[in-house]
């Protein structure tokens, strides 16, 4: 049983202690955003649902996620929320064209991020041509992932979207036993659905044998083909 539990463990490569109380204090040093871009910076820890940066805030920093899961989202005029992306260790977030964040970022799980001053990146890009190219590549990756997300949102059925979401997650973590770090509400806002629709879709996928749901936050992919049929 212990083993089964362990195999769901993920998202923190900081060792068994977890992130939270008993961590070493924020550290300073050189932060690498990409192979060619590194700059002086420091790390910070955030608890669940804490805001890392806010929509409309000055974009003074760029962040590299060291451990944990982060969501970026945007508040719509009618009060609803659009979750734009979930980020995992290694991802760079907060790198935006303008000098004001168009998104906000919050910790889904407890997490640790490495901060780099935006200005020092700009200076690096002026000096070093390779660095400039890396920053471009990071923006290009965001563009691509946003495009894929839009594809997902333009799918018809609720179950389809949930199926694709689960497959995406399985690909990220390279396992069929998913530990969902995010709530139904996060998933719903990511997929453009309500929590009820997400829940019903999950149940439906389970009824059809595509997945198993040992608990709400735990999903096992039982029949990948069935899921991929939904993805069409």
CA 115 to CA 35: how far, in whole Å? 16
Q: Fill in the per-residue mask, 196 to 215: x = in contact with DNA (CB under 7 A), - = not in contact.
A: xxxxx-xx---------x-x
Q: Which of residues 151-170 bind DNA (CB under 7 A)?
A: 156-159
Q: How far is the CB of 100 from a second copy (least distance, A)?
A: 12
Q: Which of residues 156-175 bind a second copy (CB under 8 A)?
A: 156
Rounded to 5 degrees, φ, ψ at 134 are: -65, -40
Which residues have C-beta within 8 Å of that of residue 59, sequence separation ≥ 6?
53, 94, 96, 98, 99, 100, 101, 118
Q: How far is the CB of 222 from a second copy (least distance, A)?
A: 22
Among residues 117, 192, 208, 220, the one that binds DNA under rule CB under 7 A: 192
When asked if residue 20 is in the footprint of DNA (CB under 7 A), the reply is no
Q: How far is the CB of 182 from DNA (least distance, A)?
A: 8
Strand 111-117, strand 37-46: pairing: antiparallel
CA 41 to CA 62: how far, in whole Å? 10
Which residues have C-beta within 8 Å of that of residue 179, sequence separation ≥ 6?
8, 9, 10, 11, 217, 218
Question: Are residues 179 and 7 in contact, defined by beta-carbon separation less than 8 angstroms?
Answer: no
Token readout for 6 is 């362990």
Q: Fill in the per-residue mask, 10 to 49: x = in contact with a second copy (CB under 8 A), - = not in contact.
A: ----------------------------------------
Interface residues with a second copy (CB under 8 A) are: 74, 76-78, 80, 82, 84, 96-98, 102, 125-126, 129, 132-133, 135-137, 139-144, 146-147, 149-151, 153-156, 192, 231-232
Interface residues with DNA (CB under 7 A) are: 156-159, 183-185, 192-200, 202-203, 213, 215-217
């Amino acid at each position: 049983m212990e083993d089964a539990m362990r195999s769901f463990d993920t998202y923190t490569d900081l060792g068994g202690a977890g992130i939270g109380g008993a961590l070493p204090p924020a550290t300073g040093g050189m932060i690498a955003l990409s192979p060619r871009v590194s700059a002086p910076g420091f790390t910070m820890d955030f608890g669940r649902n804490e805001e890392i940066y806010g929509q409309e805030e000055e974009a003074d920093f760029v962040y590299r996620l060291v451990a944990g899961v982060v969501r970026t989202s945007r508040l719509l005029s009618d009060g609803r929320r659009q979750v734009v992306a979930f980020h995992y260790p290694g991802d760079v977030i907060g790198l935006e064209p303008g000098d004001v964040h168009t998104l906000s970022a919050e910790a889904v799980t407890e997490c640790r991020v490495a901060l780099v001053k935006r200005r020092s990146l700009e200076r690096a890009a002026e000096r070093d041509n390779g660095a400039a190219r890396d920053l471009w590549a990071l923006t290009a990756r965001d563009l691509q992932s946003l495009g894929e997300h839009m594809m997902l949102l333009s799918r018809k059925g609720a179950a389809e979207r949930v199926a694709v979401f689960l497959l995406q997650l399985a690909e990220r973590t390279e396992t069929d036993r998913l530990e969902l770090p995010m709530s139904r509400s996060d998933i719903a806002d990511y997929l453009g659905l309500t929590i009820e629709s997400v829940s019903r879709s999950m149940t439906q996928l389970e009824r059809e044998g595509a997945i198993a749901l040992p608990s709400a936050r735990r999903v096992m992919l039982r029949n990948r083909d069935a899921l991929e049929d939904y993805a069409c």
